[in-house]
Amino acid sequence: MAKKIYLIGLGLIGGSIALSIKHNDPSIHIIGFDINNDQAALAKKLGAIDEVSYEIFPSDISSVDIIFISTPVEQTINIIKDLKDVELKKNVIITDVGSTKVKIVESANKYLNGRIKFVGGHPMAGSHKSGILAAKPHLFENAFYILTPSKYVTLEDLEQLKNILEGTKANFIEMSPQEHDRVTGVISHFPHIVAASLVYQAKNHEEQFPLVKRLAAGGFRDITRIASSNPYMWRDILLHNKGPLLHLFDDWISEMERVKGFVENEEAENLYDYFEHAKHYRDGLPEKQKGAIPSFYDLYVDVPDYPGIISEVTGFLAQEKISLTNIRIIETREEIYGVLRLSFQTEHDRELAINCISKYSTYETFII
Ligand SMILES: NC(=O)c1ccc[n+]([C@@H]2O[C@H](COP(=O)([O-])OP(=O)(O)OC[C@H]3O[C@@H](n4cnc5c(N)ncnc54)[C@H](O)[C@@H]3O)[C@@H](O)[C@H]2O)c1
Ligand SMILES: O=C(O)C(=O)C[C@]1(C(=O)O)C=C[C@@H](O)C=C1
């Protein structure tokens, strides 16, 4: 069992991996390095790591069992290249978390050439946010964690990596780097391009229609949330996955032409079928697992409808350090009661909230 871990890159993903390892087994010693010293200091302060390294390859790197590279994908390749000349522990495992795999695994095979065991990794959960302050120990709960092990990696090596990642509560799945980049191109990379393009469509109409920005409601905000992601990260991802993405551009252009034809020719039945089939497929996405549908867990609370009720309820949760992902007043009933909808990242947090609210109040809670 690995007892000493080294994390290069202490942002959202690296930080969440560190927190999940620490929460699962505090005895694991984690050293962390980040080119941004503030991130590293925060990671230490948050208890994600035990020790900050101020150089990327410290002398005690030769004693670590597993090295996680959780940097943007182009930096990941640079680090793998530099690692080839570093003295490391025999049987050390190196893994990454990059959103692309083909180029990263190619560089590992080229520079580490089996001398060092490399397991491509990619947790299929995250956020449009970046940095250690967005990191959560349960970020990967119920998500798929994709592994693309090279031929030099044994089953025991994979088990050792999965054991250290047990605290993520993710579901591990193996695939080839090629399959990984094709699939993630479809369900992650290209959707990020589309989200950004929809933002540009609004921006490009703002001069003619100044209200565009102000009238943007839930639908536009939902579909464009990921356009707030880290541009540095997505620049690298698109350049790493150019091949599959160029095919997806062609598919998308054909699809838009097809739908344009339905509208232009007023093909009502085709338009209905278009939305109906999309709804059927989307509604069929697995709810429990993350990465497919944001697995927010909603709790409804019957509350008296008076000023300050929201801060009263969130105050209960704050007292017990229960984190919330969203809160909305969804209904104000004629009589004195209203309904709050509280959203949580995990079912466990929702359970904690139910107990917390019943402990501090008589407000009725229910799950739909
Ligand atoms: N954001 C997501 O939803 C998500 C999900 C799964 C995988 N990923 C992948 O995880 C990786 C990290 O993404 P993130 O969301 O954690 O980004 P992030 O910006 O939150 O964190 C990246 C960290 O790496 C540091 N860094 C950059 N270059 C470095 C270098 N050369 N040496 C050391 N540290 C360096 C940055 O200072 C930053 O703190 C990326 O490869 C991304 O594709 C992201
Ligand atoms: O949840 C989000 O905001 C994400 O964009 C996470 C997301 C994705 O779903 O595309 C982004 C990049 C990753 O490689 C994996 C997951």
Q: Please check whether residues 265 and 313 belong to one and the same domain.
A: no
Ligand in closest contact with the CA of 133: 1
- Give the pLDDT score at 327: 81
Q: Please check whether residues 132 and 14 belong to one and the same domain.
A: yes
- Give the pLDDT score at 289: 55
Series of mean pLDDT values for 10-residue runs along the chain (368 residues) = 93 98 96 98 97 97 98 98 95 97 96 90 95 94 93 91 95 96 98 98 95 89 94 97 98 98 98 97 76 65 84 92 80 63 85 94 86
How far apart CA 9 and CA 225 sit, in angstroms, is 24
- Give the pLDDT score at 293: 43
Q: Please check whether residues 151 and 238 belong to one and the same domain.
A: no
Q: Give the residue, by CA position, lying nearest to ligand 1 atom 39.
A: 11
Q: Is the ipTM of this complex over 0.95?
A: yes
- Give the pLDDT score at 48: 97
72 in contact with ligand 1, CB cutoff 6 A: yes
160 in contact with ligand 2, CB cutoff 6 A: no
State which ligand 1 atom lies nearest to the alpha carbon of 8.
33
How far apart CA 5 and CA 165 sit, in angstroms, is 11
Q: Please check whether residues 317 and 361 belong to one and the same domain.
A: yes
State which ligand 2 atom lies nearest to the alpha carbon of 294.
1
For 283-314, letters b (16+ CB in 10 Å) and e give eeeeeebbbbeebebebbbebeeeeebeeebe
The total of structural domains in the chain comes to 3
CATH of the domain at 240: 1.10.3660.10
Give the domain range for residue 349. Answer: 297-366
Ligand in closest contact with the CA of 195: 2
Q: What's the CA-to-centroid distance between 150 and ligand 1, angstroms? A: 22
Cβ atoms < 10 Å from Cβ of 68? 27
